Structure 1
Amino acid sequence: MNLPTELARHQRAVYFGGNWTSVNLQATLADVSWREATTLRPGFNTIAALLYHVDYHTGAVLGGLRGGPLTAKDAYTFNLPPVQSAGDWDALRQQAGRQAESLAALIEQLPESRLDEDLTDPKHGSYYRNLQGLVEHAHHLGQMVLLKKLLRPAGPS
């Protein structure tokens, strides 16, 4: 087994399907309107904010894999630009999908021997820790699924 290939497969699966849970971001968000995505329920983040949050971290690690520094700041992970139309919402979903695929493609090219090395700086931990962590982090998807259910009227029993 080639571990980078497996990590890339898991990255794609949580975004595009084929994982054990049979739930993925693309399918879950496909029928979410921009109004649903931006509806704030007291005590919760919006679906759009959660997607932005996941994508923000993906973009940060993607930059590190491309040789740049990890510049992500926790204070900015929910700084979602305004989503005021279906076009804005579509752009956010497309951006997340593109970054997920770009990340998976770079992971596949990563020599397995690099997985134990620090990603840009020792304070960030190893490549493996960051790449596996992104897959786990993308499972904010569960919150998105629950919010989607809360925002829609219950169907017939």
Structure 2
Amino acid sequence: MSDQIILANRFREVILNGTWIANTNFKNELETLDWEIATEKVHNLNTISILAQHIHYYINGIKQVFLGGNLEIRDAYSFDFPDIHSSEQWEHFLGRFWSDSEEFAILIEQMPEKQLNEDFVLEKYGTYLRNIEAMIEHSYYHLGQIVLIKKILNNRS
């Protein structure tokens, strides 16, 4: 199995379908979550919705580079999203999240092996491999936060 297939599968595990590392994934945690719970504030923590949108922001931004575009995402804007006010808005976001995530995984699978060790946009950003691995690790970090926030919210009732 190629490195690209392994990386794409690891990415899918955290976002779409895996249970090996965290015994859950984003889709499992969010797909049936009511929008009101996803947007409920707990103390000074980010909401579940904001955390999910944050991860999607990076997936979509890196995906644009994979497609030959510019790196337009900025850390300073990675938590700035319009509020979600309905189940339709929440479902629309989730649909984009799953679709962009699958496209991201497919682009990893299709990436020439040589490209994995090339600079990602600029040398200071590391290689494509480092950025893909960082996306996976970053996703697990925020998945853990989502699981904990859900537990806090469930214990309030």
Cα 1:19/1:113, change in 2 over 3 Å = farther
CA distance in 1, matches of 2:89, 2:53: 12
Number of the residue aligned with 2:10: 10
Point out 4+ residue stretches in structure 1 off by more than 3 angstroms.
none
**Offset at residue 154 of structure 1 (A):** 6.9
In structure 2, list runs of 5 or more residues that go unmatched: none
Number of the residue aligned with 1:117: 118
Give the structure-2-normalised TM-score: 0.93
**Offset at residue 31 of structure 1 (A):** 2.4
What residue identity is the alignment partner of 1:8?
A
CA distance in 2, matches of 1:68, 1:118: 15
CA distance in 2, matches of 1:137, 1:76: 16
3-state DSSP of counterpart to 2:155: coil
**Offset at residue 119 of structure 1 (A):** 1.4
Q: How does 1:89-104 map to 2 (within 5 A)?
A: 89-104=90-105
Number of the residue aligned with 1:58: 59
Q: How does 1:120-139 map to 2 (within 5 A)?
A: 120-139=121-140
CA distance in 1, matches of 2:31, 2:60: 21
3-state DSSP of counterpart to 1:79: coil
In structure 1, list runs of 5 or more residues that go unmatched: none
3-state DSSP of counterpart to 2:136: helix
The RMSD of aligned alpha carbons is 1.4
What residue identity is the alignment partner of 1:97?
W
CA distance in 1, matches of 2:147, 2:91: 18
What residue identity is the alignment partner of 1:18?
G
Is the CA contact 1:32–1:148 (under 8 Å) kept in the aligned structure 2? no
What residue identity is the alignment partner of 1:132?
E
**Offset at residue 153 of structure 1 (A):** 3.1
Give the structure-1-normalised TM-score: 0.93
CA distance in 1, matches of 2:50, 2:116: 30
Number of the residue aligned with 1:41: 42
Q: Which 10-residue stretch deviates more, 56-65 or 22-31? A: 22-31
Number of the residue aligned with 2:150: 148
What residue identity is the alignment partner of 1:148?
K
**1:130-151, Cα deviation, whole Å (9 max, x unpaired):** 1111111111111001111111
State the number of aligned residues. 155
